[in-house]
Structure 1
């Protein structure tokens, strides 16, 4: 498959125009375009090569919604390895979730792989799932699972009741020129995720448009080897989110008009999959000041906590490099970096010592004991924010957010604005003071006593107290060269020797001005750098420095 590369500014302009067209595409199943409706056009020919099939959906004589939906369901249920399913131009109402399980295709022995689903363009082939159902549950648009090397391109998924395109347990994904749209802005009733690979590997998402998600427009979770590039995300709660994932590049995207622009999160999911090694660079992160319309998550740190007006957020993950981005006009803060202490201070709960009485299960040891035993850490380590262009126009600063009400009040009391780059610092302070290590040690001892030293038989592991230890070289959170007048500060001092508190509140002089986030210099540590991510699909390598050698920072030299 030819990889179409588009210059960044041209791509942004083209997709912006496309988004206007997308928003205007409506109407019923009429084939007329006289009223501005999207005309239905069949343009598929069976040019199958030996060993592969082209499956045409609809025909020149019949492009009714019912026929297109029925034939697409059949094509997915009977798919064979190497199939290309071609969708016609037009807007089609789909009344049920479209599912493909690579292990469940009719008449196929073994896993079905190398499936291609192709439309006529993301603004020309639109599948409208507004009335879709799925066994009484909210329906996804597409739910694809248990396969390898799947390609979806040149189509739009609108108004999915749940998620637009969900992919699970899949190795090798290309989502290219795909749109996921909810046409009503900022509504909690919109579907949760737009593009949603989870528990996957080798994921490429490029040249896509996502709008209106009540969680994240582009979300990649519990996955590894990820490239998200040249996309536009607007009017979602989170524009782009990388969660509990390893080896990811997020570059040359536009995130604007969301609640939060780009999120790098590590949540206590409890399946042993946690994040590490993410680069965020070359993006335009602009005016993400929308209201937070997310539903409350199962996790204290879900996107419902995102303060409106935040450009980039890093939450309880490790080794993230953020550089060469334009981060402009955010009303609360441009970059927020925080341990899980901010959403839930129970992560520092001391373990219960009464084994056999109060403590009868792992969850009784401490609130987050099961997650610690699973390998999760609430701390941020190795975060480097450098050489970005951060600015806020006069009159925009107006911080808000339920989660940070006390922070806002505190900074107002000190007569200073929230820093452009804000770090909570509390997790690092506790680690440097030895408190987090003591908690991990205590959990180890109590869990072993409770379980008669057979934790491994329960699929758990003794917490690596190293991830709770004092911060060493490469662990620190730092920022440098992000623009004239850009402020950066840790709310809490990260050095216990500097920790001066009154009723739990840091010394005002420290909060108003501190250099705890300074990179290099007299600090005695080296800022972290993260290696480029590479994706392999169908034997082709994608990524910065692989197929892309022309974008900034992607030279083969």
Structure 2
């Protein structure tokens, strides 16, 4: 009895010591984020650290927050009691986050807002359980930022988008991996972006380029998506109901919604069961548009030199797109790799009813470039499969400075 009692006392002391130690580490990290002078580096040590509150930094310049490496420095918010985000950085300039893993926050894992010059390098941001609508929306989440670099990062388990860049300018997302998210990588209402040499697999949708209404930055565009591997994005959609991405059908490789000047080229787009690339108007959502400045039409889209593969088979039946494919489009097992809704902006049409050259949808030189204009504007009555009608070139545009 005495030995057992002594063992329990020692165990209790060890547990209390560990908790106190974790609390001290958390306090030190937050204190460093508040008190660090501009131009300094905050070094996080190797280990797994339980963080109970959001960590925040505001109004800093030329800072580096550095761990000892992915899966070596781990900040776990699994038992988070306060705040929504894991890490939140605001109103800052030239901030670098690198070499760490961030896990299981209540809301977004790492959010940066109003930051001019933000780099995420060798960051893993993940929810460690199964895909769930209770996971946070975004793993890496720069919004209203400028000069964004996301390099060699990993995003897992987001109920909206793993790597999400919103309402930002001058963006590069490269060498990164996104899987088991609703959207792997999403560029939303953002301008001058390059998304390249990434892997998006096992998501609901691999790479999305969206413009949505009712946001501060109204118009995105000038986006290049190239040299990516977009493979088997056939995960059941687990976004909370009401989110726009909750409407993305599983089996989506890439989806362009209401954005202009997007170039998609030299990508490997394989085994996405619903579509390889979709080009759709916001009208397809059937949501009412009250934002008078919003442009709901995709224009000046070029899809070229991509490699498509899809085994013959029906589109997954569940959901609105599945029902539309089965009962309206009736593609059977020969589902096209490129799908265009065909909804046109009447203000941009020439006398023949076609887009003026600078607004056209151009598709050429893709491997297995099966295609359908589904004529959604006229209730799918005149589906067009002839891709040669879209063999054109658009004027080159600049993205990065």
Q: Which residue of 2 aligns with 1:403?
A: 320
In the alignment, does 2:295 pair up with 1:420? no
Q: Which residue of 2 aligns with 1:506?
A: 381
Higher-Rg member (1/2): 1
5+ long unaligned stretches in structure 2: 1-13
Rounded Cα–Cα distance in structure 1 between residues aligned with 2:218 and 2:38: 30
Shift of 1:493: 8.3
- Equivalent positions of 1:193-204 (< 5 A) are 193-204=138-149
**Per-residue displacement from partner, 1:123-175 (whole Å, max 9, x unpaired)?**
1000000111335xxx2100110000000000110001100000000100111
In the alignment, does 2:226 pair up with 1:278? no
Shift of 1:418: 3.1
- Conserved in 2, the CA contact under 8 Å of 1:489 and 1:517? no
Identify if the C-alpha distance between structure 1 residues 208 and 234 changes in structure 2 by more than 3 Å, giving closer, same or farther.
Answer: same
Identify if the C-alpha distance between structure 1 residues 94 and 345 changes in structure 2 by more than 3 Å, giving closer, same or farther.
Answer: closer
Q: Which residue of 2 aligns with 1:489?
A: 372
- Conserved in 1, the CA contact under 8 Å of 2:257 and 2:280? yes
In the alignment, does 2:75 pair up with 1:130? no
**Per-residue displacement from partner, 1:175-228 (whole Å, max 9, x unpaired)?**
100010111122111111000000000000000111111111100000000000
Rounded Cα–Cα distance in structure 2 between residues aligned with 1:345 and 1:418: 26
Q: Secondary structure at the match of 1:426?
A: coil
Q: Which residue of 1 aligns with 2:35?
A: 78
Following TM superposition, where does structure 1 have runs of at least 4 consecutive aligned residues deviating by more than 6 angstroms?
none
Q: Which residue of 1 aligns with 2:240?
A: 295
Q: Secondary structure at the match of 1:141?
A: strand
Q: Secondary structure at the match of 1:506?
A: coil
In the alignment, does 2:363 pair up with 1:471? no
Q: Which residue of 2 aligns with 1:377?
A: 295
Q: Secondary structure at the match of 1:341?
A: helix
- Equivalent positions of 1:61-460 (< 5 A) are 64-102=21-59, 112-134=60-82, 139-297=84-242, 302-344=244-286, 346=288, 368-369=289-290, 371-372=291-292, 375-394=293-312, 397-400=314-317, 402-410=319-327, 413=330, 415=332, 417-428=334-345, 432=349
- Conserved in 1, the CA contact under 8 Å of 2:315 and 2:335? no
- Conserved in 2, the CA contact under 8 Å of 1:311 and 1:330? yes
Q: Which residue of 2 aligns with 1:519?
A: 391
- Conserved in 1, the CA contact under 8 Å of 2:348 and 2:359? no
In the alignment, does 2:397 pair up with 1:530? yes
- Conserved in 2, the CA contact under 8 Å of 1:489 and 1:516? no
- Conserved in 2, the CA contact under 8 Å of 1:399 and 1:408? no
The TM-score, its normalising length taken from structure 2, stands at 0.89
Rounded Cα–Cα distance in structure 2 between residues aligned with 1:188 and 1:414: 31
Shift of 1:427: 3.2
Rounded Cα–Cα distance in structure 1 between residues aligned with 2:220 and 2:108: 23
Rounded Cα–Cα distance in structure 1 between residues aligned with 2:338 and 2:346: 18
- Conserved in 2, the CA contact under 8 Å of 1:384 and 1:528? no
**Per-residue displacement from partner, 1:458-510 (whole Å, max 9, x unpaired)?**
xxxxxxxxxxx9721121112111113x311211189xxxxxx6xx4413xx4
The structure with more strand, counted as a fraction of residues: 2
RMSD: 2.5
Rounded Cα–Cα distance in structure 1 between residues aligned with 2:31 and 2:124: 23
Q: Secondary structure at the match of 1:188?
A: coil
Rounded Cα–Cα distance in structure 2 between residues aligned with 1:253 and 1:126: 23
Identify if the C-alpha distance between structure 1 residues 297 and 332 changes in structure 2 by more than 3 Å, giving closer, same or farther.
Answer: same
Shift of 1:270: 3.5
- Conserved in 2, the CA contact under 8 Å of 1:306 and 1:401? no
Rounded Cα–Cα distance in structure 1 between residues aligned with 2:301 and 2:372: 14
Rounded Cα–Cα distance in structure 1 between residues aligned with 2:88 and 2:303: 36
Q: Which residue of 2 aligns with 1:554?
A: none
Greater shift in the superposed pair: 400-409 or 157-166: 400-409
- Conserved in 1, the CA contact under 8 Å of 2:191 and 2:223? yes
The TM-score, its normalising length taken from structure 1, stands at 0.65
- Conserved in 1, the CA contact under 8 Å of 2:329 and 2:374? no
Shift of 1:413: 3.5
